[in-house]
Amino acid sequence: MIKFIKSLLVIAIVATMSGCAKIGEEDMEKKEVAISAAASLTDALNELKIIFEDEHDDVSVTLNFGSSRKLATQIEQGATADIFLSASMEDMERLKEHGLVNETTMVEFTENSLVLITNKVVNNPVSSFEQLGTARFDHISMGEPDTVPAGRYGKEVLKHLQLWAPLRDKLVLGSDVRQVLTHVEMGNADYGIVYASDAKTSDKVIVVAEADPSWHTNIVYPGSVMSDSVHPTEAQDFLDLLSGKKGRAVLQKYGFK
């Protein structure tokens, strides 16, 4: 028993030391730009990180993904970030009120749209949001409106089309967009409402319709350098890249506008 505990201790110590050594070597003289970004931006930002680090040898970018609401709360409670890239204006505004945002740097760097998706196994799927009112199906999935931004916009669309009340019993609400995609991918829900960019991350779903932008609040993505950023110049450089031509090209590749 004692032998076992001893060997556990040795493993723990070795693991800790090797961890320290690694961090020390890599980032000794590099400036670290920490980005907190909405989870929907994952693929696009991973690609832009490589482009940015190629252009700036002395900078390393760390990405922290999560729901915009959670990230804003983290930053409010003192988590360090140089840049905040949000999927909703509301969360950016909240940080602005607390004076955590360098307001002059704020840009709306992209937009997203809402789409209706289905699975290959659904026979004769609808081809528009309006047809949901008359079509026969069991379940439609979307994010929970009070907690998931995509769900909030989805509710706006359904309300605008006067489908919210009739579809209530068929609505399966997910705690995040990934869950909605899973339900549709596996054919448990016949339809789903997600962002165009999310639909692009799955090759098992088919987009059948895009919501008219006038049916819901504009889905803009605001980004900003934080007021207590350690490397504001480098952070600004990244924001410029993101909202510039190269950034737009990458974002479009992943379904953004």
Partner 1 sequence: MDYSPLLLSLKVAAISTTVVFISGVFFARVLARKQFFGKSMIEAIFMLPLVLPPTVVGFALLLLFGKHGWIGKWLIDWFDVQIVFTWLGAVIASIVVSFPLMYQSAAAAFNSLDDRLENAARTLGASEWRVFRTISFPLAWPGLLAGLVLSFARGLGEFGATLMLAGYIPGKTDTIPMSIYFAVESGQMEKAAFWVVIIVALGFSTILWLNWWSRRNMQRYTNENRSR
Count of residues touching partner 1 (by CB under 8 A): 22
When binding is defined by CB under 8 A, the residue of 107, 135, 167, 172 that contacts partner 1 is 172
When binding is defined by CB under 8 A, the residue of 125, 149, 154, 174 that contacts partner 1 is 174
173 interacts with partner 1 by CB under 8 A? yes
Residue whose CB is less far from partner 1, 166 or 187: 187
For the window 17-56, what string marks contact with partner 1 as x by the rule CB under 8 A? ----------------------------------------
Select from 14-22, 49-57, 170-178, 207-215 the region that touches partner 1 (CB under 8 A): 170-178
127 interacts with partner 1 by CB under 8 A? no
Residues 6+ apart with CB under 8 A from 91: 68, 69, 71, 72
Q: How many CA atoms does the CB half-sphere of 213 hold within 13 Å? A: 8
For the window 175-214, what string marks contact with partner 1 as x by the rule CB under 8 A? x---x--xx--xxxx-------------------------
Residue whose CB is less far from partner 1, 56 or 170: 170
Residue whose CB is less far from partner 1, 61 or 189: 189
When binding is defined by CB under 8 A, the residue of 80, 147, 227, 243 that contacts partner 1 is 147
Calculate the CA dihedral of residues 64, 207, 175, 122 and round it to 10 degrees.
-140
When binding is defined by CB under 8 A, the residue of 3, 169, 214, 245 that contacts partner 1 is 169
Select from 7-15, 51-59, 99-107, 133-141 the region that touches partner 1 (CB under 8 A): 133-141
Residue whose CB is less far from partner 1, 19 or 166: 166
From the list 165, 160, 175, 173, the residue with the least C-alpha distance to 129 is 160
Please count the other Cβ atoms lying within 10 Å of the Cβ belonging to residue 33: 28
Instruction: Give the burial string for 155-170 (b: 16+ CB within 10 Å, else e).
Output: bbbbeebebbeebeee
Beta bridge partners of 220: 111
When binding is defined by CB under 8 A, the residue of 138, 213, 217, 218 that contacts partner 1 is 138
Residue whose CB is less far from partner 1, 6 or 98: 98
Binding stretches for partner 1 (CB under 8 A): 69, 121, 138-139, 141, 144, 146-147, 168-169, 171-175, 179, 182-183, 186-189
